[in-house]
Amino acid sequence: MLLLRAGIITERQLADAIEIHKVTGSPLGKVLVDLGYATQGGILSVMAKQIGIPYIDFSVKRPDANAIALVPRELAIRYTLMPIEIEDDHLVVAMADPQNVLALDDLRIITGYEIAPAISTKDSIVAAVDEFYKVATTMSEDDLDAGGDTAELTLEDMTEITDDAPVVKLVNYIINRAVADRSSDIHIEPQEKDLRVRYRIDGVLHEMMRSPKSTQQAMISRFKIMADMDIAETRKPQDGHTALTIGGHAMDFRVSTLPTVYGERVVLRILRKDNIMLRLQDLGFLPSALERFESSFRKPYGAILVTGPTGSGKSTTLYAAINVLNTPAKHILTAEDPVEYRLAGVNQVQTNVKAGLTFARALRSFLRCSPDIILVGEIRDQDTAKIAIESALTGHLVLSTLHTNDAAGAITRLTEMGVEPFLVASAVDCVLAQRLGRRLCSECKEEYKPSKQLALDAGFAEDARPERLWRPKGCKKCGGTGYRGRVGIHEVMMISEEIGDLTIKEATAEAIREVAMEQGMLTLKQDGLEKCRQGQTSIEEVSRVIV
């Protein structure tokens, strides 16, 4: 039997199913499914190989919006089918009955394409039709209320877009699908022969669809109009934003364009106003690390630095700390570029380099306003660094970010920027280095026993090797990736007297790091491995985000 040869079932399971089949007369496949020996999908995948057509698993394969647009929803429901993609002038369609000649003929006539049938389970197709057609067809202009003022747009600009209604629907689909998939960015990338759309989900880019080259100009113009950009300017980068309400949730979209050899590239960064994590407990701190960090920012003065690469969650951590400190008794001022989230009760300032409002100038002005707490979006230059350090020394609590690889590197970075070592040693109280790793999907993560060599290669100590770890598997909930959501990986270095002395002596970052570890600091690697031990992430993910 095919299922036996494919390893789907064992000989004993087949024998049990045959006995029940003889007694009840039920189809053998149904008996195997009822007994839990096989899934309907598993049986169909074997059958698909036998008859030479693809099997579609919707947890792995996402239907293309261009294919969905070709087939009316009513037809998909009537024949229990789901359009998948356009491939070599053929429309690939997942069907519960791929031998339904009437359905194939209707599809060929309506779409104008030759049909390449594939097979999937009836339940999976029904669920897919409900999910993907709902996104593609129920989203109207009322669902995307552009926050920008369109009064300044010319009639010609508006006509160019509104005359091409399918492009408007496609843009709506791309945005709504990205929000549904928990994306942080949408990348619209012109290629030589088509237009690629990618989503950044849990910090990793995934290609979601390809659109014909003919849609490129209209689609990019649509995005630029939504962000109140000049659609006639295609030679220079532009930045804009729009506020949208999707499914009752207010969201900001930061939109950037960049000219490339194949046309303008568009990136939309999705900022969920009402869904930002602002509790430190939600950011993945180990109890010991959270205690060290919280004891630092609750002091009345001093500088606290959060370091890490772009996209490592630095701003979110600072917002979470500010949220704890934000009381009517505190005067809090922030200088940010840009102000991504509005915090009630906090005075937030948007820097504007063109107008001369830099981080350094904003900080100088802050000091005349008698603040208790100052947040500086990023220390980028010597002036900002010096003023921030001096502010920490004159009775203010200063929180800021810095681009370094680890916590110890922040100390040497400040001295390299021209801040006197003795000022750094006196002002800085704590440095937090962090990364964001993907969190294992709770529904499908797979437990395994690691070999000794694997554990040692990962970085576990000989006497602390874990008995069990977890790895990604993939299911419908996580889109087949094995990961859902992200978890912070942290390194909290307190500036002790010994580290202060090393700072004054201009010791290397490695020397500072060794002393910090002796005083109880867990490195990024150690913190990540502990989260592997707890089943929050995998050793492959820790290796990916930590060099």
In contact, 181 and 192? CB cutoff 8 Å = no
Asked whether the predicted pLDDT for residue 316 surpasses 50, the reply is yes
Q: How far apart are CA 527 and CA 491, in angstroms?
A: 7
pLDDT at 479: 78
Q: What's the confidence (pLDDT) of residue 279?
A: 79
pLDDT band at 396 (very low <50, low <70, confident <90, very high): very high
Which position has the higher pLDDT, 198 or 167? 198
DSSP class per residue in 351-398: -BTTTTB-HHHHHHHHHTT--SEEEES---SHHHHHHHHHHHHTT-EE
Residue of 182, 185, 259 lying closest to 220 (CA atoms): 259
* Percentage with pLDDT > 70 across the chain: 84
CA-based Rg of the chain, rounded to a whole angstrom?
A: 28
Average pLDDT over residues 40-65: 74
Cis peptide before 371 (omega within 30 of 0): no
The predicted-structure confidence for 410-448, as pLDDT tens digits, reads as follows 999 999 999 999 999 999 999 999 999 999 999 999 999
Mean pLDDT of the chain: 84
Residue 233, pLDDT above cutoff 80: yes
What is the pLDDT, as a whole number, of residue 1?
Answer: 52
More confident residue, 48 or 422: 422
CA distance 81 to 104: 10
Q: How far apart are CA 282 and CA 341, in angstroms?
A: 18
Rounded-to-integer distance, Cα 446 and Cα 230, Å: 50
Burial class (CB in 10 A: 0-12, 13-18, 19+), 493: buried
pTM recorded for the entire structure: 0.71
Is residue 462 scored above 80 in pLDDT?
Answer: yes
138-196 tens-digit pLDDT: 444 444 444 444 333 343 444 444 444 577 778 888 888 888 888 999 999 999 988 99
- The pLDDT score that the predictor gives to residue 57 is 86
How far does Cα 12 stand from its chain's mean position?
45
